[in-house]
Amino acid sequence: MNQLNLKFILLTLFLIIFTEQQLSAGPPFNTDDPQPVDFKHWEYYISTINTFRADTWLGTCPHVEVNYGLVQNVQVHHLLPMNYDYSRPNGYNFGYAYTEFGVKYRFVQETENMPQIGIFPIMEIPTIKNNEFGNGKAQLYLPVWVQKSWGKLTTYGGAGYWFNPGINTKNWMYYGWELQYDFSPAITLGGELYYHTADAIGNNSVSAFNIGGSYNASEKFHIIFSVGHSLINENFTTTYLGLLWTI
């Protein structure tokens, strides 16, 4: 085996390790794709997402997400999170603050030579006044996603801009990319690399990764999961565990 072939094999193995499930982009990762839920079909998630730092834990326990294929190439999205945080001096807090709404629209179909392209604007609306889990200001996310597939291998990603009003907060950019591969009808492994700029005065930009996947218990029921860690400027671990029901 020559050196060029060895490099190609190692690169291929790396890409396969850093892949994501083909069920639905987004959960259990941050990066999404432009493919909406099929017309008149539903996705239901019940999940928990967590971030662990040395002295602070925070996340959802749980959150409920619903997606519906409203018309061809259009998906509506709704998410209800029950939030928690923990710090050593203050203990645990639980509460609800924001309700999330979104619409995914695919405006370019994938062809042999053209990727599919879509947008997925999301608004987080303050629903209950809760200073522990929000500042009472609505937030808006405007991303663009691109995807291309070759058989079982798919790559997608993009970038988005967060409007993040409030005292000492900053608008910020998100960039992410994924590769995915189906190892079998039941098991898919995957991952992402992502970066976002600082979201508040005094905060740093963050680069991190997640790896995870899915177990398809049946055509309708799927267990999805991921774990990740920061790469620069911060020191945290993230996890996601969820049950997805598709109909």
Exposed / middle / buried, residue 129 (Cβ in 10 Å: 0-12, 13-18, 19+) = exposed
- pLDDT < 70 stretches in the chain: 1-25
Q: Where are the beta strands (DSSP E) in the chain?
A: 42-52, 56-71, 74-87, 91-95, 98-108, 116-119, 122-126, 139-150, 153-163, 172-182, 187-196, 206-216, 221-232, 237-246
For 134-147, the pLDDT digits (tens) are: 899 999 999 999 99
- The 8-class DSSP code of residue 131 comes to T
For 168-218, the pLDDT digits (tens) are: 999 999 999 998 899 999 998 889 999 999 999 999 999 999 999 999 999
pLDDT of residue 25: 52
pLDDT of residue 179: 87
pLDDT of residue 13: 39
Q: What is the domain count for the chain?
A: 1
pLDDT of residue 2: 53
CATH code at position 23: 2.40.160.40
pLDDT of residue 9: 41
Range of the domain at 234: 3-246
